[in-house]
Amino acid sequence: LDHCIEIARTLGVAKTTVWNILKKKERTGELSNTKRPRRPRKTTVVDDRRILSLVKKTPFTTVGQIKNTLQEVGVCVSKSTIKRRLHQSEVRGFTTRCKPLVSLKNRKARLEFAKQHLTKPSQFWNKILWTDETKINLYQSDGKRRVWRRKGTAHDPKHTTSSVKQGGGSVMAWACMAANGTGSLVFIDDVTADKSSRMNSEVFRAILSAHIQPNAAELIGRRFTVQMDNDPKHTEKATKEFLKGQRWNVMQWPSQSPDLNPIEHASHLLKTKLKGKCPKNKQELKTVAVEAWQSITRVET
């Protein structure tokens, strides 16, 4: 007991602490804490494989659905346990990327277009006036879904949803831009006679007639190329005749290729900038949209 008191005084601890440690050494031969048994795992290796297999076969399944499937084979675990097992396998839930449903024919055309333009110099791209139409919502609603996947697999067809063209509270706009920056943002209902947002070939031609030449002159110069997609109103006979009469150089564009158009990125930037705004009506939406569009810099695009 005396040596316990001496050690306790030297170390500045209670003598009972020293006494207990020495007794433990005498009893177990160890000074370190003994390992306590871990709580047993709720799932077996087979269960873990089954969970991973379920999300591989059906990436859009929910944790609740996985739980119900496991219960059918006698495995009762919580949703949090299922999430932990998926995370341990580096599988996490992400919002799906929405990609157009592209036909095989158009895939081949897209690839050929990419090959033809792969080595084009910057001077070529600087001469292009990019155009597109976009829908701007007054109240944002993205309708996003979540999917189980590993990092780096966002664009795997199994992990994306398909969008279909042309699906209150929104405006349709025509926009253009070039390498030097953004051009006009034209709202369709400001052009149509009935103030609707329905774009037809006649409205499209009116917009081109009023905005292509001025924007090209300001952003590019006298020699330029106009890019537009293959929307039906862009390819109607009347539109083709109009373009032929203008003698503009029009870029041949593969169908179903919005992702190849850099103005898509600018449109996304526009909508991102609008998220912090709270317009009360369509007119206010137009005002803040034009301000946001004009604020997009060359560096951002």
Tokens of 157: 């067809």
Residue with token string 């190329």: 225
C-alpha to C-alpha distance for 135 and 207, rounded to whole angstroms? 16
Instruction: List CB contacts of 232: < 8 A, sequence separation 6 or more.
Output: none
What's the CA dihedral at 148, 152, 155, 156 to 10 degrees?
A: -70
Instruction: Characterise 57 by phi-psi region: left (phi > 0), alpha (psi -120 to 50), beta (else).
Output: alpha
What pLDDT shows up at residue 63?
Answer: 94
DSSP label at residue 94: E
- 107, 113 contact by CB (below 8 A): no
Residue with token string 């591989």: 56
| Chain centre to alpha carbon of residue 1 | 71
- 112, 147 contact by CB (below 8 A): no
φ/ψ of residue 284, rounded to 5: -65, -35
- 187, 286 contact by CB (below 8 A): yes
**Tally of CB atoms within 10 A around 79:** 12
Query: Is 121-148+168-295 a domain of CATH 3.30.420.10?
Result: yes
- Strand, coil or helix: 206: helix
What pLDDT shows up at residue 35?
Answer: 67
Instruction: List CB contacts of 204: < 8 A, sequence separation 6 or more.
Output: 174, 233, 234, 239
Instruction: List CB contacts of 124: < 8 A, sequence separation 6 or more.
Output: none
Q: pLDDT tens per residue, the chain (301 residues)?
A: 677 788 888 888 888 888 888 888 888 777 776 666 777 888 999 999 999 999 999 999 999 999 999 999 999 999 999 999 999 999 999 888 877 678 899 999 999 999 999 999 999 999 999 999 999 988 654 446 678 888 888 888 888 865 544 335 789 999 999 999 999 999 999 998 888 888 899 999 999 999 999 999 999 999 999 999 999 999 999 999 999 999 999 999 999 888 899 999 999 999 999 987 888 889 999 999 999 999 999 888 7
